[in-house]
Homo-oligomer: A and B are copies of this chain.
Amino acid sequence: MTTLGYALLGLLAREPASGYDLKRQLQAPIGFFWRARHSQIYPELARLEAIGLVTYQVVAQHDLPDKKVYTITAEGRGALRDWVATPAEAPVVRDEVLLKTFSLWLVEPAAAVALVRDQERRHVEQLQVYEGLHQQLVQRAGAALTHWDSPYFASYITLQKGIGAERQYLEWCRWVVLLLEQPA
């Protein structure tokens, strides 16, 4: 099983969805834990169906194309649970911005500041998106927000990680700009 497969199961464990629905959830800016394109999602759903972890029903819609609505099976839920309980590897760090930062000494301070400010702007936007999602979540979840067996709880702690990471990124951007702008 691929990691993407588990990402899809993780979404389907909450509610049935079409490939298109899943695509939207695994897209920027809300897919903050994993991203995927539809060209990866459709074949993966077919594989999950082939091994019995999901099933689907074709649903006809008025004025819109038919869609395949996928549902997780009991085996799918079991596979997902087993995977979740298995210790995870450390995240693969692959940040192009940090790579550029590492060679930032090669460019003029003005260019360096432009680069970091651009990132700052990006992360401000992303933080706003996450905070919006958080507001929605708090309103919808109610008391379930802090119940360990509620999907709302899992969404809540995942989102909090995203929010914390964005804040930390922002703080760092601002600190770097301060360093670059202070007179030598």
Of A9, A77, A100, A115, the most chain B CB neighbours within 10 A belong to A100
Chain A, interface SS category: helix
Say yes or no: B102 contacts A10, CB within 8 Å.
Answer: yes
What residue in chain B is nearest A181 (Cβ atoms)? B148
- CB-defined contacts of A98 to chain B, threshold 8 Å: 32-34, 91, 158, 161-162
What residue in chain B is nearest A82 (Cβ atoms)? B107
User: What is the 8 Å Cβ interface bit string for chain A, positions 70-91, against chain B (1 contact, 0 not)?
Assistant: 0000000100110111011111
- CB-defined contacts of A89 to chain B, threshold 8 Å: 96
Q: Residues on A close to B: CB < 8 A?
A: 3, 6-7, 9-10, 13, 28, 31-35, 77, 80-81, 83-85, 87-107, 109, 111-112, 114-115, 118-119, 122-123, 126, 146-151, 153-155, 157-158, 160-162, 164-165, 167-169, 171-172, 175-176, 179-180, 184
